[in-house]
Structure 1
């Protein structure tokens, strides 16, 4: 059997949640189904899949075991080619839509760029909030930088609320429970930078 090689890649650990979701859906399992067979609470699994928590090694191997995924196959999805020609052109057609929170209403995410570096990683996303968008407050194992490209919104950090308009920016520790709120009748577009560091794992 041919062995999968990781010699020229770097582990992009922030992708773990998305890979777990991919394999779970391939097995046609709901989040509650995975919780039942692993003994891990669905709330924790949701945080892991949404990239808001990095699982411990025992937790990760429990999930892989119950999904029937070989570790080498799982980790092959987490390595990337680190060659960089000195520039990157990113046409909007290449932005990849992804799901951040199951059950969130009116949240549309698109990944613009993801990269690992020594001591951490970053992800740049475009977040569109449609009128009436709704989601509970969540936490993320990363620092977050929010820049309002278009529209007005409220951004809640636990019991604090910030009014934000086009051109405003907000930087915070994602371990603080947070949620953006679009109570207007117009779409809001945000540029979101997730900065994953060893301190946030």
Structure 2
């Protein structure tokens, strides 16, 4: 029997895709499902994994068959001990709707017993903006190029190429680029099943 792992951290992007295909605004989906728009936003942005009843409510109201939805989350190949990812296979995605100057590329999404890891490349344009966010994961940030200020709730860190930061993503956080040049960050999300 072939075993499939589910890439749970694609749930938010799939929900956003189906919502936009139905030409629904976040508030309209909130009214349809009874799920608060703030929670829907966190789910779509990969910052929160919904409970099974909430997920089924959302996909039902979007008119998506459960088998089709979960089939898109299936990761059918068994891990051979390595994964090579050519840069042309990096996938652009939107993490926060309405964020300005945040350009994400997913490099790797991998599930393992006990959790999952997502590795992204973030290009942060000068004067980028969004509010602080929280993520239900541990995060590791490594600055590849440029200078940024990284806010963790009420603390801030000046970071330059080669600097790193590890933190509990549940702490509200925000990278800021107040320079005239783009900054590039490698972002690791470590999701645990605990």
Coarse TM-score class (shorter-chain normalised):
over 0.9
Instruction: Report which stretch shifted further, 22-31 or 127-136.
Output: 22-31
Counterpart-to-counterpart distance in 1, 2:45 and 2:132: 13
How is 1:163-178 mapped onto 2 (pairs within 5 angstroms)?
163-178=158-173
What is aligned with 1:49?
A: 44
1:147 aligns with 2:112: no
CA RMSD of aligned residues (A): 1.3
How is 1:35-114 mapped onto 2 (pairs within 5 angstroms)?
35-114=30-109
1:33 aligns with 2:34: no
Q: Could you list the runs of 4 or more consecutive aligned residues of structure 1 that deviate by over 4 angstroms after TM superposition?
A: none
* TM-score, length basis structure 2: 0.96
Q: Note the C-alpha offset of 1:8.
A: 2.8
What is aligned with 1:133?
A: 128
* TM-score, length basis structure 1: 0.93
Counterpart-to-counterpart distance in 1, 2:81 and 2:74: 20
Partner SS state of residue 83, structure 1: coil
- Matched length: 194
User: Any stretches of 5+ residues in structure 2 without a counterpart?
Assistant: none
User: Any stretches of 5+ residues in structure 1 without a counterpart?
Assistant: 1-5
Partner SS state of residue 110, structure 1: strand
Cα deviation code 1:13-65 (max 9, x no counterpart) = 12111111111112121212211211211111000000100111111111011
